[in-house]
Amino acid sequence: MRKTTLLFIALFLTLALLLAACGGGTTEPAANESAAEPTSDAAAEADCASADVFCVGLVTDVGEIDDKSFNQSAWEGVQKAGTDLGAKVEYIETGDAKDYATNIGLFANNSYDVIVTVGFALGEATAQAAATYPNINFIGVDQFQGEPVANLAGLIFPEDQAGFQAGALAAMLTKSNTIAAVLGTDLVPPVVAFKEGYENGARYINPDINIISTFHPGGLDVAFTDPEWGASTAKQAVDQGADVVFGAGGKTGNGALIEVAGVDGAYCIGVDSDQWETVPEAHACLVSSAMKLITPGVFDLIKLAKDGAFPAGNFVGATGLAPFHDFEAKISQEIKDKLAEIKAGLDDGSLSTGYNPGG
Amino acid sequence: MTTTTAPITKKGVRLDAPLFGRIAIVLLGIAALVYYFLQPQQATAVYASTLRQSTPLILGALCGLIGERTGIINIGIEGQMLLGAFVAFLANVYIGNLFIAVLAGVATGALLGLFLAWMSITLKMDQIIGGTVINIMALGLTSFFYVAGLTTKGKLQPIPLGPLADIPLFGPIFFNNAPITYLTIILVFFFQFALFRTVWGLRTRAVGEHPSAADTVGIRVNTMRYMNTTLAGCLSGLAGAYLTLEAVGSFERGMTNGRGFVALAVMIFGKWTPLGSWGAALLFGFATALQTQFQFLGLDFIPHQFIGMFPYVLTIVVLAGFVGRSRPPAAEGKVYDPE
B134-181 residue pLDDT tens: 999 999 999 888 877 777 777 888 888 888 888 888 888 888 889 999
| Cβ-defined contact of B252 to A251 (cutoff 8 Å) | yes
Question: Quick check: helix, strand or coil at residue A314?
Answer: strand
The answer to whether residue B6 sits within a structural domain is no
With an 8 Å Cβ cutoff, is B53 touching chain A?
yes
Among the listed residues A185, A178, A175, A184, the one whose alpha carbon sits nearest the alpha carbon of residue A202? A178
Based on the domain organization, do A138 and A220 belong to the same domain?
no
CA distance A134 to chain B (A): 37
Indicate whether B197 belongs to any domain.
yes
Chain B residues with CB inside 8 Å of A21's CB? 140
CB B267 within 8 A of CB B61: yes
d(CA A352, CA B136): 50
Contacts of A354 by beta carbon, 8 Å cutoff, 6+ apart: A196, A200
Are residues A190 and A304 both part of a single domain? no
The answer to whether residues A273 and A300 belong to one domain is: no
Phi-psi region of A30 (alpha: psi -120 to 50; beta: other; left: phi over 0): alpha
Is A245 in the same domain as A100? no
* Chain B contacts in chain A segment 248-267 (CB below 8 A): 251, 254-255, 258-259, 262
Whole-number Å distance between alpha carbons of B327 and B317: 16
Domain-embedded: residue B329: no
Residue A87 lies inside a defined structural domain of this protein: yes
**pLDDT tens-place string over residues B52-106:** 999 999 999 999 999 999 999 999 999 999 999 999 999 999 998 999 999 999 9
Structural domain includes residue B9 = no
pLDDT of residue B14: 46
Q: Taking CB atoms and an 8 Å limit, are A236 and B250 in contact across chains?
A: no
Contact between B248 and A25 using a beta-carbon 8 Å cutoff: no
A285, A268 Cβ separation under 8 angstroms: yes
What residues make up the domain containing A128? 31-39+47-157+293-318
In a domain, A353, yes or no: no
Q: Does any domain span residue B328? A: no
Contact at CB, B296 and A212, closer than 8 angstroms: yes
Whether A69 and A225 have beta carbons less than 8 Å apart is answered as no
For residues B141 and B127, give the distance between their C-alpha atoms in angstroms, rounded to a whole number: 21
Chains A–B, number of C-beta pairs less than 8 Å apart: 142
What average pLDDT does range A178-184 have in this prediction? 94
Contact state of B140 with A215 under an 8 Å Cβ cutoff? no
Counted domains in chain B: 1
In a domain, A118, yes or no: yes
Q: Which domain holds residue B270?
A: 17-322
Nearest CB neighbour to B144, from listed A23, A225, A227: A23
- Asked if the structure places residue B11 within a domain, the reply is no
Are A106 and A222 in the same domain? no
Which of A228, A233, A238, A252 would best serve as a mutation to test chain B binding (most B beta carbons within 10 A)?
A: A228
In a domain, B52, yes or no: yes
A70 and A145 within one domain: yes
Residue A358 falls inside a structural domain? no
Is the residue at B331 inside a domain?
A: no
Question: Based on the domain organization, do A214 and A312 belong to the same domain?
Answer: no
Q: The CATH number of the domain where B69 resides is what?
A: 1.10.3470
Asked if A164 and A282 sit in the same domain, the reply is yes
Helices (H), chain A: 2-22, 29-45, 70-84, 100-109, 123-132, 159-173, 189-205, 227-239, 250-261, 275-278, 294-306, 333-348
Query: Does the ipTM surpass 0.90?
Result: no
Q: Is the pLDDT of residue B317 over 50?
A: yes
Q: How many domains does chain A have?
A: 2
A201 shares contact with chain B (CB less than 8 Å): no
To probe the interface with B, which of A68, A75, A232 has the most B CB atoms within 10 Å? A232
Is residue A57 domain-shared with residue A72, that is, in the same domain? yes
The confidence score (pLDDT) of residue B5 equals: 38
| pTM exceeds 0.90 | no
**Same domain? A124 vs A58:** yes
Distance CA B294, CA B120 (A): 45
Strand partners, A316: A156
CB within 8 A of B197, min separation 6: which ones? none
Nearest-Cα distance to chain A for B132, in Å, is 11
Mean pLDDT of chain B: 86
Asked if B266 and B61 touch (Cβ cutoff 8 Å), the reply is yes
Going by pLDDT thresholds of 50, 70 and 90, the confidence category of residue B20 is low
Torsion of CA B131, B132, B138, B141, to 10 degrees: -130
